Amino acid sequence: MSAVSAFIKDYGPAGAWVVAAVGWLVANKQANKREVRKEVRAEIDDIARIGKGILTELQKYYATDTGSDAALLSELTIKASFKELDLRFDRLHSRGLAEFPVGGLVAANEPREAFFDLATGVHFETSSRPAAAERSNLIVRQTNACLQLTEALHAQFLREFDGVPSAHS
Amino acid sequence: MSQKMISIAHEYSETPAGRYREDGPFSGQRFREELLVPALQQNEAVEVNLDGVVGFGSSFLEEAFGGLVRAGYRAADLRSRLQIKTSLATYQSRIWRYIEDAGRTARRTASV
């Protein structure tokens, strides 16, 4: 008994400091995680906003005459927007998060690449415009790919921060 | 070992656009035929720098790089001879996707 009281007497004040330090570390880690969560959420919201902007610009683009100033401006806007989108993705994947691995395969990759190919391939920057039926079909596929991209990112976000299991697991 | 460096923004255009020559003056086909293929023919290794360009469309990238496979280069050889330098990691993986896809298409066509 006397050994215990001697131990408390010797190390009691230090123990209080250790408890305080551990408490601070835990609170700090939780605050950091909240901050990262907020930043990733903002990044995903930005990606969704840029994606919607691209869809709007694509509709304007299809209404322009090929080779016109309006068409060239629209093409530039779309390509620059995709570059901005890619930049956000690279930033998202450089945070060392399990659901957003560097160069890793993630659910959002497929719709993301499909969106890019559908938007800036096929008739993009050519001397032809798709006929009405083909244009409608193309817009539907582009919109779908953009929505799937946003959905996949939200799902990755929930898995990363809220522990929501994958639909496939 | 000789190595050639090509900066698309400095040596070609800051706004490359389109797939074929008829799509514009800075198309993917023209870039491949006038800069990329000659560089690969004359050098062991070629480094293409993508920085400084406003943005790329898939039609330009696919024709410029995927088109190398259709022009007779093997994807595996390109892996060891072609280097893509860019501050955006996405462009790199995208270009290799186009090269690999073109390789797969070529193999499928050959086996039919």
Give the residue extent of every domain in chain A: 37-162
Q: What is the pLDDT of residues A46-64, one digit of tens each?
A: 999 999 999 999 999 999 9
Closest CA to B33 of B62, B79, B67, B6: B67
Q: Nearest 5°: CA angle at B94, between B93 and B95?
A: 95
Average pLDDT for A9-30: 85
Give the whole-angstrom CA distance, residue A151 versus residue A42.
15
Across the interface, whether the CB atoms of A86 and B90 are under 8 A apart is answered yes
Nearest CA in chain A to B61: A121
Domain A37-162 part of CATH 1.20.58? yes
Its domain, for residue B97, covers 3-111
Give me the pLDDT at residue A169, please.
46
Across the interface, whether the CB atoms of B58 and A79 are under 8 A apart is answered no
Q: Hey, is the C-beta of B90 within 8 angstroms of any chain A C-beta?
A: yes
Provide Rg for chain B, Cα atoms.
Answer: 13
Q: Hey, is the C-beta of B62 within 8 angstroms of any chain A C-beta?
A: yes
- Reply yes or no on whether the pLDDT at A168 is more than 60: no
Which range (A15-19, A77-81, B51-55, B64-68) has the least confidence? A15-19
A contacts of B24 (beta carbons < 8 Å): 125
Per-residue pLDDT band at A99 (split at 50, 70, 90): confident
- Nearest CB to B59; choose among A81, A90, A125: A125
- The total number of structural domains in chain B stands at 1
What's the token pair of residue A150? 């946003």
Give me the pLDDT at residue B50, please.
96
Q: Nearest 5°: CA angle at A96, between A95 and A100?
A: 85
Best mutation site among A50, A79, A141 for testing chain B: the one with the most B CBs within 10 Å? A79
Average pLDDT for A24-36: 88
A contacts of B52 (beta carbons < 8 Å): none
Give me the pLDDT at residue B1, please.
66
- Reply yes or no on whether the pLDDT at A21 is more than 70: yes
Provide Rg for chain A, Cα atoms.
Answer: 25
Give me the pLDDT at residue A135, please.
87
In sequence order, what are the residues at sequence separation of 6 or more whose Cβ sits closer than 8 angstroms to the Cβ of residue B64? B16, B28, B29, B31, B32, B36
| Contacting B residues, span 21-60, partner chain A, CB-CB under 8 Å | 22-24, 54-60
Low-confidence ranges of chain B (pLDDT < 50): none
Give me the pLDDT at residue A126, please.
86
Best mutation site among B30, B31, B59, B94 for testing chain A: the one with the most A CBs within 10 Å? B59
Closest CA to A79 of B12, B61, B35, B21: B61
Average pLDDT for A61-71: 90
- Nearest CB to A120; choose among B24, B58, B91: B58
| pTM, two decimal places | 0.85
Give me the pLDDT at residue A166, please.
62
User: In DSSP terms, which residues pair with B5 in a beta bridge?
Assistant: B47
Q: What is the pLDDT of residues A86-96, one digit of tens each?
A: 999 988 888 88
B contacts of A103 (beta carbons < 8 Å): 89, 93
Q: Which residue has the higher pLDDT, A17 or B66?
A: B66
Q: How far is B23 from chain A (nearest CA, A)?
A: 5
Q: Which residue has the higher pLDDT, A36 or A122?
A: A36
